[in-house]
Structure 1
Amino acid sequence: MKNKYTKDNNPNLFIITIGLVIVLFTTSLIISIPSVQIKILQSKGLEQLVNSEPFTNTFLFLLGEEIPQFKTFLGDEIKTPSLSKLALEAVTGIKTDNITTLMMQEIPGFNIANTEIYIAGEGSNYSNLPHESPPPDFDKLLKGHQPTEEKEPTSHDSNDTDKIKDPSVYIYHSHSWEGYLPLIDEDVKPSDSSSIDNSENVVLVGTMLTNKFEEYGINTVHNSSNVAKALRDRGWDYRNSYTLTHEYVETAASKNPTMDYYIDIHRDSARKESTTATINGKSYARLYFVVGKANEHYQENLSFAKEIHQKLEESYPGLSKGIYVKTKAEGNGVYNQDISSKSLLIEVGGIDNNKEELANTVGAFADVFEDIYEGVVEVNAQK
C-alpha cells in the first residue's frame, strides 16, 4: 500500500508551506518592479532554481497537497522537498549529489565543456573549444609600465561619442588588456600575454577596425579605455568587466540614437596553429563569435552573427572558427548584448598572431560588414 501524505505524518508540512508562501510572495514583489524584471527573470540563480530537482519536487508536492487525484496518480513519485537543497541550488548552482557542479563554480574554465557550438567553422569541434586566458594580476599589470602612444592613426579613436557625428558603430573592449605576444616587447610567458599598451593589445585591433570603417564612410566610436585600471579604481576585479563596459555601452546608446552596432573585441588564448589561416597566400588571424543566450536580443544577435559568418565563409573560407553560444551557466551569458539586436562579441586571433595577420583579418571583416551595412542602409532608404 502506497504511503499517503497527511498533516499527521508530515508535521513539517505547515512550516514548509509557510516558508514557500513567504518566498513566493517576496519573489512576486521583486519581479513586479519594472526596472528589475528583466534582470531578475534572466538571472543565473532563477534559471538554476526552476531547473533544479528540489524545485520540481516542491512544485509536485504542493500540487499533490491541493489536488488529491494528482497525488494518487503520481504516488511514490512525489517526494517530500528539501528546502535546504532548494536554497543551496538556487543560490550557488551546486548540487549536493553532483560534485562536478562545485568544480564548475570554483575552477575557472571548467565549465567551457557546456559551451554550445551553434556553427562550427573549419576544424572547430568540442575537443578544441576556445577559452579565455587567466585574468592578470591588475596591480602587477598596471605597475609594470605606462601605456605608450599607439603607432596606428587614431583620428577617429575616441571615448567621447560627442566628437563623432551620427555614429553608427560602437567598438569597445571588455578585456582591453588581452595582448598579442609578437607585439609585446617583453619576453613573457603565454599565460602572461597581457598588456595595457594599446599598441600591443586588442585595442589596436579596435583602432584598425575603426579606421577601416571610416574609410567606408561608417561613422564609428572606439572606446579605448584601460578597463583594468577602471576596474581597480572602483575596487572591482576581472569578474566585473562586463558590468563596467555595460555602463559604457548604455551611455553610448542613450546619447546616440543613430548608433545600432556594438562590437566587443577580444582575443583567444589558443596557440598559432589553431588561430591562423592561410587564404589565397595571405595569413590571417582567425576569428569567432560569442553570442549570449541570456538576453532578449539573443535570436536577433545570433542571426546577425550567422549572417557575417556565412559571408566570411563565402569570401574568406576558413577565416571564421564559427559561432559559440553561452548561457549564464557557461559565462556571462549576456555580454552586453541586451542593449541592441546588432551586438557582437568577436575573438580576433590568439596570443601568437602578429600585426600583419590581425590587419588582414580586420580588412576582411570590414569588407563583409560594409556589405551588410550598405544593404541595411538601402532598405531603410526605401521605407
Structure 2
Amino acid sequence: MKTKIKEKNNVNFLSIILGFLFFILSIIVLVVNTPTMKINIFQYQDYVGIANSDTITDAFLLMVGQEIPQFKVFLEGELEVPSISNLAFEAVTGIRTNNISTFLLKEIPGFNSANTKIYIAGEGSDYSNLPQESPPPDFDELLKGENSNINKEDEPNSEESANEESITSKNPSVFIYHSHSWEGYLPLMNKDVKPSDSSSTDNQENVVLVGSMLSNKLEEYGIKSQHEDTNMAQALNDKGWDYTDSYTLSRELVETVSAQSKSISYYIDIHRDSARKESTTTTINGKNYARLYFVVGQEHENYQENLLFAKDIHEKLEESYPGLSKGVYLKTRAQ
C-alpha cells in the first residue's frame, strides 16, 4: 500500500514538472515568433541557456517517456526526476545551478563577450582587450525631433528609397550597410557625453560616414559598391521594434538587395568598436590609423568561406600595414 502511494505521488509530481516544462516551452515558442515579446521577456542567450540546461533536458526526456513506453523503460534508472525549484529557476533566469559561469555571464556587464573566439589575433590582441559594443541607446532620446524635421516623402533613408536605389544601382559587387547606424564618434559629435552615450543619427558623426568613405575608395579602384545609409534607429522605431531586432531589420534589407542586385558578391556590415583609443588606433610610419577587425558569424552555412576571405584580408593588411588589423573573430548567434 505504501509503495503504491509513493509511486502515485511520484507520478503526480512528475506530471506537475512536465506540465510546467510544457508551459515554459509554449512561452518560448511564442516569444521566438513575436518580436515585441522577445524584446521584453528574453534575449537570445536565454534560449540557448534553456536549450543547454541538463535539468530542463532531463525533464523534457521524461515528458517524452510518458508518451512512449519503450523510451520510458530505457530512461528508468538513467534519469532522476528534477527538482521543480531548479527547473523553475533555470527556465526563468537562464542561470544553471550547476554552472556558475552562467551567473557571471548574465550579471557582469560585458562578461558575455568572453565567449567570442579569436581565430587570428592581430598585434597586441588577446582576450583581455576584445572589441567592445556600446550598450543600447535610448531610442526616444536619440530620435527626439527626428519626425518633426524630416519629410518622410522626401526621406532618402527610408526602406522604399533604399529599395529604389537597389534597383537603379549599376551592377555593384559590394553592398555596405550598418545594423547599428547610430554608432557615433565622439571627436565628430562635439558633445560632452560619456563614451557609452556616443550615439548619433547624423551621418556625418556616425559609422555611416565610414561606410561612405569605404564606398568612395572602392569606386576609385573601379569596384562598384552600393551603400545603405538607412537610419536604423528610426526604421526600428517605425516598426515598433527595439535594439534587439537590429539584425532582423538589416537582414530584411540584405535579402531585398540580394534579390534585386544579382551582381553583389560581398556584404559588409560596418560597426564601430567602442573600446578606448589605445586599443582602437595605431601609429604606422608616423601616421595615426584606426584599427579594424573582422567578425565572422558561425551560423551562416558558408561561414568557412567567409572565414578564409577575412583571413586573406587580414594577412594582406599585415603585409602592407603591420598592426592595422586587430584580427579575425568568430561569433555565434548568441554572442
Common fold: TM-score over 0.5: yes
Instruction: Identify the residue that residue 156 of structure 2 maps to in structure 1.
Output: none
In the TM superposition, 1:15-94 aligns within 5 A as: 15=15, 47-58=48-59, 65-67=72-74, 71=77, 78-82=79-83, 85=86, 89=90, 93-94=94-95
Q: 1:84 and 1:182, CA in 2 relative to 1: closer, same or farther beyond 3 A? A: same
User: Which residue in 1 is equivalent to 2:249?
Assistant: 244
Q: How many residues align?
A: 295
Give, in whole Å, the separation in 2 of the partners of 1:290 and 1:82: 40
Counterpart amino acid of 1:202?
Answer: V
Give the counterpart of 1:327 among 323, 328, 332.
332
Contact conserved, 1:313 with 1:319, CA < 8 A, in 2?
A: yes
- Name the counterpart of 2:127: 126
Deviations 1:145-190 (A, max 9, x none): 869xxxxxxxxxx832122111211101111111112212333332
- Aligned equivalents of 1:21, 1:283: Cα separation in 2: 56
Deviation (angstroms), 1:191: 2.4
Letter in 2 for 1:137: D
Shift of 1:247: 1.0
SS in 1 for 2:267: strand
Equivalent-residue separation in structure 2 for 1:106 and 1:127 (angstroms): 19
1:129: how far off? 1.7
Structure 1: how far apart are the matches of 2:320 and 2:220? 20
In the TM superposition, what is the alpha-carbon distance from 1:271 to its structure 2 partner? Answer: 1.3
Identify unmatched segments of 5+ residues in structure 1: 1-5, 31-42, 148-157, 331-383
Offset, 1:142: 2.3
Deviation, 1:202, is 0.7
Shift of 1:131: 1.3
Which residue, 258, 263, 276 being the options, matches 1:258?
Answer: 263
- Once the 2 structures are TM-superposed, how far is the Cα of residue 261 of structure 1 from its aligned partner? 0.8
1:222-371 to 2 correspondences below 5 Å: 222-330=227-335
* Equivalent-residue separation in structure 2 for 1:208 and 1:249 (angstroms): 20
- Greater relative contact order: 1 or 2 (C-alpha under 8 angstroms, separation 6 or more)? 2
Which residue among 170, 185, 199 is the counterpart of 1:194? 199
> Contact 1:291/1:302 (CA < 8 Å) preserved in 2?
yes
Q: Deviations over 1:207-243 (max 9, x none)?
A: 0111111122222110111111112222222222111
Q: Which amino acid aligns with 1:240?
A: D
Per-residue CA shift, 1:223-276, capped at 9, x if unaligned?
111111112222222222111111111111111111111101111111111111
Q: Kindly provide the amino acid, as one letter, of the partner of residue 184 in structure 2.
A: G
Structure 1 residue 144, shift from structure 2 partner: 6.5
What's the secondary structure of 1:126's corresponding residue? coil
Does 2:218 match 1:213?
A: yes
Aligned-partner Cα distance in 1 for 2:103–2:278: 33
One-letter amino acid of the structure 2 residue matched with residue 126 of structure 1: Y
Aligned-pair identity in percent equals 61
Q: Note the C-alpha offset of 1:284.
A: 1.0
Q: How far apart are residue 59 of structure 1 and its match?
A: 7.4
- 1:101 is displaced (CA, Å) by 2.9
**Residues 271-328 of structure 1 deviation map (CA, whole Å, 9 limit, x = unaligned):** 1111111123322100011222233233222222222112211221111111222223
Q: What stretches of structure 1 move > 6 A for 4+ residues in a row?
A: 20-23, 144-147
Root-mean-square deviation over aligned CA pairs: 3.5
Aligned mates of 1:239, 1:296 — CA distance in 2: 22
Kept after mapping to 2: 8 A contact 1:52/1:86:
no
| CA 1:322–1:96: 2 relative to 1, 3 Å | same
* Cα offsets for 1:23-77 (capped at 9, x unmatched): 9x99xxx9xxxxxxxxxxxx76664445321255357765874238x84xx6xxx
TM-score, structure 2 as length reference: 0.74
Alpha-carbon offset, residue 13 of structure 1: 8.2
Any idea what SS the aligned residue of 2:270 has?
strand
